[in-house]
Structure 1
Amino acid sequence: MQEQECTLDLNTIEAAVAGEKWALEKVLAYYADYIEELATVEVEQPDGSVKKVVDEDLKQQIGMKLLEEIPKFPLEEAKKQAAEE
């Protein structure tokens, strides 16, 4: 897993909802560690021990699902909350 400092500000979220490639990449980078955690599975080894590995297919599926859901993000609600802060 990679360590990187990344934040998602409202402008980035707006751009991601609009389909901007740079913003979508930033969202994926922001959630990369979480996606990897979700895609980590336990595999039983021949000796009976259990090894944790990242299922790369599952990782891709989770990332694709995230990208599919971004356009549905309630942007107006987020803008309203940001204005209240």
Structure 2
Amino acid sequence: MTNQKMPDYETIRAAVAGEKWAVAKVVECYQEEINRQATVRKRQPDGTIKEVIDEDMRQHITMKLIEALPTFPLEELEKQSRK
């Protein structure tokens, strides 16, 4: 993963609660990693290989992230923030 900044606690808490603005912010934060994971190598007609983002895969990964947000372990994050 690159040096992306994790969303702040309040944003994560709001995303876990289903706030649309917060979910969008979390997805935006991880967009670079999502794109990296959805990148595939495709052979071109001239025989060269080109890396492209598979849009279906990108959307699938994004949906999995959104679906997982309600199960995010907030308690662990709260413990870490107190230290």
Kept after mapping to 2: 8 A contact 1:41/1:54: yes
Please give the per-residue CA displacement for 1:6-37, whole angstroms capped at 9, x wherever unaligned: 65110001000000000000000000111011
**Whole-Å separation in 1 of the counterparts to 2:57 and 2:6:** 25
Q: 1:73 is aligned with what amino acid?
A: F
Q: Percent identity?
A: 52
Equivalent residue, structure 1, for 2:66:
67
- Provide structure 2 residue ranges, at least 5 long, that are not aligned to the other structure: none
- Provide structure 1 residue ranges, at least 5 long, that are not aligned to the other structure: none
Please give the per-residue CA displacement for 1:39-65, whole angstroms capped at 9, x wherever unaligned: 110001122110111100100000000
- TM-score scaled by structure 2? 0.91
Q: 1:77 is aligned with what amino acid?
A: E
- TM-score scaled by structure 1? 0.89
Equivalent residue, structure 2, for 1:30:
29
Runs of 4+ in 1 over 3 A off after TM superposition: none
* Aligned pairs, number: 80
**Whole-Å separation in 2 of the counterparts to 1:49 and 1:8:** 39
